[in-house]
Structure 1
Amino acid sequence: MKRLWALLFVCIALYLGPGGLHAQERQDVQERQDVQERQDVQERPNILFAFADDWGYPHAGAYGDPTVNTPTFDRLAAEGVLFTRAFVSSPSCTPSRGAVLAGQDFWRLGAAANLWSTFPEDVEVYPSLLAERSGYAVGHTRKGWGPGRIGDRSHNPAGPAFDRFTQFLDQRSGDQPFAFWFGSHDPHRTYSDSLRRAMGIDPATVEVPPMLPDVPAVRRDIANYYAEVQRFDREVGRLLQTLAERGELKNTIVVMSGDHGWPFPRGKANLYDAGTRVPLAIWWPDRVEAGRTISEFVNLTDLAPTFLEVGGVPVPEEMTGQSLMDLLVPSEHDRPERGRDYVVMGRERHTPAQESPNDGGYPVRALRTDDYLYIRNYYPDRWPAGTPHYRRAATNNGWLGDTDNGPTKFYLWAHRSGRSRLQELYEQSFAKRPAVELYDLRSDPHQLHNVATDPDYAEVRKRLGERLPTLLRRRDDPRAIGTNPTLDRPPYFGGIPSWPGDSTLTPYR
């Protein structure tokens, strides 16, 4: 309504022409326009997006984790909205972050569907749209989009880089709203025992999921991961304190999440929940009803259209994400939008970790519903986490390259044969997988028992096996429509986890 009045004043002035209004009247019109523009700017909320690196679900106090201490996230959840089924588009940093920025499924990003690639120049991202079409100040600190190369862009797709959040706030003009991306490097490996001790985390209290061995080395590894989660949470708390001190917190929507699951075997770079499910809380004073928990499926591609909607920018048609506004601020008469009863995810090349230089990676797609996880492995003859035979690796000394090196990986390798249970755990993370995997989440929430060949699940396998490619074709997945040249072997600009040597592995035997 306010914008309509401003438009009306302009139309009157244009209709009457220079002689139709006295100088004082024209000045009054201009002043009303100026006031209206300032009011519009003030009504648009600031957007603070706090994005962790390798932080997975359910590692926060708000989800019932008994060990990790996350008071900032818990506050946002208690005073805002907590999402219990938030998933990423791809469980790898570069494609996941690109999908968030573009609001599109990762496979639509060309080379950027892969780790350590190049971001396409023709893909629009929400920070630039907010800046160009709604006057937002945009910026990021630390890890924005990436790792990768940005081509001819003048700055990272997440926005211009700043050393500190306060530096970014100080350079804004007047009441200009902002959209800031705080990209922490926590809790990415490597980890520190000293930080864990400083945080006071006792490895004896951590919960070890059943896909990992419950031994002291793994408990310490998880506890060290928790220490970095806590450091990330504390830093976000300081950002909120800064905004509170400046009187800007109340007009800020705060979103806190992670770019994919934790960096443990069968987690990061895998389509099981440990790799794709992430924490998500959204806090928006006076607009979002406090204390709600939302169980509908959401994908982090939904954030870009959400940010554009709250910033008053039309959502581009190419965005495949759905705005979350129907969930965040449902009207009194409207029920939240349906159709959020599943999520589709996938991955392409994480690292060049196979034995043949002609193999691009390990392409996979998955359909996650309430009761089932259906996974399609396109090349079951390849290694899902990279070759274990480092002497044969296409990349020099590449060793299980799609899983970050660390104590848990070392322990599983050291016990890959002999004791049957540890051998089974090793193979679940690193052995080759069949073309189709199917998990019944009602009885197997950690997705450890593949029932794809069980006759009792034949109908489910058929139904989901038909539904997944249909959904992929609708969303222009090159794997589904047969146009995938940019997905197979784009340039790779990074390193790869490599064989650590027998001396490193000796303590884990």
Structure 2
Amino acid sequence: MKSLLLALSVFFACLFIANAQSKQPNILFLIADDWSFPHAGVYGDKVVRTPTFDRLAAEGVLFTNAYTASPSCSPSRASILTGRYPHENESGGNLWSEWPAQYPTYVSLLEEIGYFTGSTRKGWGPGDFKVSGLEHNPAGKSFSDFAEFLKNRPDGAPFTFWFGSSDPHREYVANTGIQAGMKLEDVVVPGFFPDNDCVRNDILDYYFEIERFDRECGQLIAMLEEMGELDNTIIVMTSDNGMPFPRAKANLYDYGTRMPLVIRWPKKVKSETVIHDFVNFVDFAPSFLEAAGKTPENMSGQSLWAFLDGEKQDRDQIFLERERHANVRKGDLSYPMRAVRTQQFLYIWNPMPERNPAGDPTVHQSVGQYGDVDHSITKFLMMALEGKAQPGQPDYFQLAFGSRPEEELYDVEKDPYQLNNLASDPSFASVKEEMRKELLAWMEKTGDPRFEHPKSTYWDELRYTPDYQMKDIDWQKQIEEYRIRPPFGPNSQNGIPCTN
């Protein structure tokens, strides 16, 4: 009798395990707004505190070469959802665009097979999805928060939930980083910024919002633990594009495109795994669909699961692009860029170098002067350096706001901030030629209109959805007002020095 009971116990235990293993996983997608690699503790940043991100890295896989498909909110998020490159998403390749409803998303496809779907805060956007006939944001039906979503979830239904924070997007409350205990002297200032306390303070305020995002993600994960769903949930924590500073966001340099990324899913991902191969955000959608048992179709991305299990894939390079970011050039013009990045080199093609990559020096419609760069004290200080480059220092104004040649080539191993363009150096001619060929082959394969028509006006002519008119701002006054703010608490009389 005892042996029979033991056999039955083993049978039902095995049946339970088999059912649990066959259960479709939940998906929790945690996405920041304007957060760059390497700004997390696990990447070696000594200032910003990211215990949630670091925990997921310890319990899952950490990526050191994860790249957004485009360094701009709407096209980046569209590529995440559709598994297609921005130029394949047509109108979805622009910021403030119309949603390309002809292409299904992983959210809509999972909904078809019984997933309960939802989102909160910033999903796909900014842009207009209602004009495309959608009733709710492509990232999922809107809920006030994760708790409300879970309350409405049908019993036993697998779910996919998109948590879209607005951190660390600007505007910032000045001095929040200092007040949170971070120190100016600990900041590592990227080489394309002037290094002074004012810029360091701006970076600390950015760090403050990264930390807030990290805390909120931790709260959502705690809910999963409480309900016993943690290990059956694929958790992805990342960002849409780079930090909102000059030469970062809206640029194809690393600080615009290289993203923090961790994935936790014990069924497929071993703890403390570190991946140095290249991963593109177009890989998310096919990965989620495959995990749910649905075959991805018409997607350019590759599922990550076989790769993480040891399958050899072509991940020696990554392809990057951007079209119109903000509406900041007279005539509503885009600034197109295409790029290929390998472990050693970054090659960028600017097919319309006659246009200004940062936008017009005076306001066209949105944002302000050089409007593809978000307003900040760092931006205003660099604008004030026009014509004032110092011997032995980079020309900070030119790096952020100046015109660029048609081709750029950087040795990213020796030049991590991409300051020294090697495209005209004869000793790198063969490298440049090979990378140009790789880029053009990818453009042809994926049907990029700029392969046959480099100066196409397609993305210029697409509707820019908001209807407002900005004015130029007095940025010199902004510098002065920021300079006299006391950064070390309400009783301090010390202002922040805003010069080199």
TM-score, normalised via structure 1 length: 0.87
Deviation per residue, 1:392-422 (Å, 9 max, x gap): x433783101000001001111222334266
Give me the whole-angstrom Cα distance separating, in 1, the residues matched to 2:470 and 2:255. Answer: 20
8 Å CA contact 1:351, 1:496 repeated in 2: no
Aligned twin of 2:491:
none
8 Å CA contact 2:67, 2:257 repeated in 1: yes
Q: Secondary structure at the match of 1:385?
A: coil
**Residues 1:85 and 1:423: Cα distance change in structure 2 (over 3 Å):** closer
Across the aligned residues of Structure 1 and Structure 2, the Cα RMSD in angstroms comes to 2.0
Per-residue deviation at 1:116?
A: 0.4
Task: Tell me whether 67-76 or 414-423 shows the greater mean CA deviation.
Answer: 414-423
Aligned twin of 2:84:
104
Aligned twin of 2:437:
466
Q: Which amino acid aligns with 2:231?
A: K
Give me the whole-angstrom Cα distance separating, in 1, the residues matched to 2:307 and 2:115. Answer: 24
Give me the whole-angstrom Cα distance separating, in 2, the residues matched to 1:287 and 1:326. Answer: 9
**Residues 1:423 and 1:440: Cα distance change in structure 2 (over 3 Å):** closer
1:121 to 84, 101, 108: 101
Q: Which amino acid aligns with 2:388?
A: G
Within-5 A mapping of 1:248-267: 248-267=229-248
Give me the whole-angstrom Cα distance separating, in 1, the residues matched to 2:404 and 2:188. Answer: 27
Per-residue deviation at 1:246?
A: 1.3
Task: Tell me whether 478-487 or 305-314 shows the greater mean CA deviation.
Answer: 478-487
8 Å CA contact 2:36, 2:255 repeated in 1: yes
Per-residue deviation at 1:219?
A: 0.2
8 Å CA contact 2:328, 2:366 repeated in 1: no
1:373 to 346, 350, 353: 346
Aligned twin of 2:461:
489
Per-residue deviation at 1:500?
A: 2.1
Q: Which amino acid aligns with 1:205?
A: D
8 Å CA contact 1:136, 1:176 repeated in 2: yes
Give me the whole-angstrom Cα distance separating, in 1, the residues matched to 2:58 and 2:20. Answer: 29
Q: Which amino acid aligns with 2:114?
A: G
> Is 1:137 the counterpart of 2:116 in the alignment?
yes
Aligned twin of 1:362:
335
Aligned twin of 2:379:
409
Bigger radius of gyration among the two: 1
2:75 to 95, 106, 128: 95
> Is 1:284 the counterpart of 2:265 in the alignment?
yes
Within-5 A mapping of 1:36-185: 39=19, 43-132=23-112, 134-150=113-129, 151=131, 152-185=133-166
8 Å CA contact 2:61, 2:272 repeated in 1: yes
Structure 1: runs of 5 or more not aligned: 1-34
Q: Secondary structure at the match of 2:176?
A: helix
Q: Secondary structure at the match of 2:162?
A: strand
Structure 2: runs of 5 or more not aligned: 1-14, 484-497
Per-residue deviation at 1:311?
A: 0.8
> Is 1:336 the counterpart of 2:296 in the alignment?
no
Give me the whole-angstrom Cα distance separating, in 2, the residues matched to 1:498 and 1:327. Answer: 50
Q: Which amino acid aligns with 1:369?
A: T
Aligned twin of 2:477:
503
Runs of 4+ aligned residues of structure 1 deviating over 6 Å after TM superposition are: none
8 Å CA contact 1:199, 1:227 repeated in 2: yes
Q: Secondary structure at the match of 2:225?
A: helix
TM-score, normalised via structure 2 length: 0.89
Per-residue deviation at 1:102?
A: 0.4
Q: How many residues end up aligned between the 2 structures?
A: 462
Q: Secondary structure at the match of 2:117?
A: strand
Give me the whole-angstrom Cα distance separating, in 2, the residues matched to 1:497 and 1:300. Answer: 32
Deviation per residue, 1:349-369 (Å, 9 max, x gap): 001212x31x52100100111
8 Å CA contact 1:98, 1:145 repeated in 2: yes
Per-residue deviation at 1:337?
A: 2.5
Give me the whole-angstrom Cα distance separating, in 2, the residues matched to 1:176 and 1:401. Answer: 45
Aligned twin of 1:12:
none
8 Å CA contact 2:326, 2:367 repeated in 1: no
Q: Which amino acid aligns with 1:71?
A: P
**Residues 1:464 and 1:156: Cα distance change in structure 2 (over 3 Å):** same
Per-residue deviation at 1:42?
A: 6.7
**Residues 1:300 and 1:496: Cα distance change in structure 2 (over 3 Å):** farther
1:438 to 401, 405, 409: 409
Task: Tell me whether 182-191 or 421-430 shows the greater mean CA deviation.
Answer: 421-430
Give me the whole-angstrom Cα distance separating, in 2, the residues matched to 1:192 and 1:490. Answer: 34
